[in-house]
Structure 1
Amino acid sequence: MRKLVVVVFMLAGITVMAQKVNFGVKAGLNIANYSSTNQPSNLSSRLAYHVGVLAEVTVSTVFSVQPEIVFSSQGVTNSLGKDEATGKYQYLNIPLMAKYYIFKNISVEMGPQIGFLTAATITAKDAQGKETDIDVSKALNTVDAGINFGLGYKLTNGINFVARYNLGLTNISKARSTSIKQGVIQLSLGYNF
């Protein structure tokens, strides 16, 4: 409880110091994968997408804070010869990014993220191309915490580009014998109003 109070006061202080707030939207490509204690050698990254909204709160000419709400499709693909299984994990992620502008339009960013699992399926495809969806949401923890690192470039017309890596810090598997931590590269195109 004490930590929550400290965070609320810090956010309130940042809001008071803020010079302006720019709202925006973003969307882009996810290159998702994970590391596991029982990881098979035939795993490959899953290409998916993300879409979200953000508010960039300017604190000074070189520093801003950017909370976001992002729907993110993640997971991994496992190929077994002609058979294939793709884990499709859907999250509502809430990153809180600290952005430092090293040049006028170029920023480095870092910050924590909490994600809430909204759906999880494994799509199995056999050699004939027949697909079967299996709900695996009960086998996964509903909350995933991580930390983001990124680099951004913002044009004067509001269009911006961001490359970001989300390093998962928590085990998403409920099985005690398995530890699964996600890693997602995000390439985003955004617009600040």
Structure 2
Amino acid sequence: MKKILLLAAVAVMGMSVTAQEFRFGPKAGFAMSTIKVDDKQDDLYKREMDPKYTFYIGGMAEYKISDKFGLQGEVLYSPLGAKERIEESEGDVYFGEQTKVTFGTLLVPVSAKYFISEGFSVAAGVNFGIILTAKQKTVIGTNLPVDIEIEGGEGEQDIKDDIKSLNLAPFVGVEYMLENGLFFDARYNLGVSNLSNDGSGGKITNSFAQIGVGFKFGGN
């Protein structure tokens, strides 16, 4: 009987070790970021700025609780934001304004994963974005003899005081991993935090999609 109990205990321990799998590694990729602006005072200021195509880079750690479920945490950096171009003309006179907003953001996504197969999984979680820097660059141009550019070092302004530091973005995503640890993933992050800090009652949100590649070390 003792031998049977011992064998059973060893078997249970073996199953536990198999189920609990820890992996970690680097990841990087491309991001498409958008900003929505809602002034609350004028319908003309309810708009979505054009996407900004940028990058992200960092690392991840995955803890597989069982064959089907796991948890994942990441630390990434990405210069998110958006851009906007306004063009008007009257007769022979042309006027154009181009604005680019950049949020230097430290991203900390935390997610739960479901493994459909050994290599294919889906995930859902929350991305905690810490906005480290916020800058806006506006260039004004016209077909008049002199181009106009706003003051402040090639039209760049520090708007960090006008932007809140925390951007919460729930997300869903998919991942496919090869047997050698190389993986590819994609996700969409919906910004729900109001980033406006100017006290006017308006709302600014930042959402972004990501597609990337990485490599996982560890495992059994």
Q: TM-score, normalised by structure 2?
A: 0.75
CA distance in 1, matches of 2:214, 2:196: 32
Shift of 1:37: 1.4
Letter in 1 for 2:185: V
Q: Distance in 2 between matches of 1:97 and 1:73?
A: 22
Q: What is the deviation of 1:104?
A: 2.4
The farther-off stretch of 117-126 and 87-96 is 117-126
Corresponding residue to 1:110 among 110, 115, 124: 124
Once the two structures are TM-superposed, the CA of residue 20 in structure 1 deviates from its matched residue by: 2.1
SS in 2 for 1:169: coil
Question: CA separation of 1:129/1:30 partners in 2, compared to 1, >3 Å: closer, same or farther?
Answer: farther
What is the alpha-carbon distance in structure 1 between the residues aligned to residue 82 and residue 101 of structure 2? 5
1:188 equivalenced with 2:212 (yes/no): yes
SS at match of 2:161: helix
Q: Does 1:154 align with 2:177?
A: yes
2:101 matches 1:91? no
Q: Which structure 2 residues correspond to residues 41-52 of structure 1 after superposition, within 5 A?
A: 41=47, 43-52=49-58
Distance 1:53 1:152 in 2: 15
Stretch moving more, 88-97 or 126-135: 126-135
Q: CA 1:103–1:184 in structure 2 vs 1: closer, same or farther (change >3 Å)?
A: same
Alignment of 1:167-178 (within 5 A): 167-176=190-199, 177-178=201-202
Is residue 2:137 matched to residue 1:123? yes
Per mean C-alpha deviation after superposition, the further-off stretch among 172-181 and 147-156 is: 172-181
Give the corresponding residue for 2:11. Answer: none
| Distance in 1 (alpha carbons) for counterparts of 2:101 and 2:129 | 17
How far apart are residue 151 of structure 1 and its match? 0.9
- Indicate yes or no: 2:36 matched with 1:35: yes
Give, as a single letter, the amino acid of the residue that structure 2 aligns with 1:115: G
What is the rounded CA distance, in whole Å, between the counterparts of 1:43 and 1:120 in structure 2? 16
Q: Deviations over 1:127-179 (max 9, x none)?
A: 35964211001100011112111011111111111111111121011133211
Identity %: 27
Shift in Å at residue 99 of structure 1?
A: 1.0
Paired residue type of 1:62: K
How many residue pairs match? The answer is 178
Give SS of 2:190's match. Answer: strand
Distance (Å, rounded) in 1 between the aligned partners of 2:172 and 2:48:
27
> In structure 1, what residue type is equivalent to 2:155?
T
* Cα RMSD, aligned residues only: 2.1
- Corresponding residue to 2:115 among 101, 126, 151: 101
The answer to whether the 8 Å contact 2:163/2:195 transfers is yes
Equivalent residue number for residue 155 of structure 2:
132
Structure 1 unmatched runs, 5+: 1-15
Give the number of the structure whose alpha-carbon radius of gyration is greater.
Answer: 2
| TM-score calculated relative to the size of structure 1 | 0.85
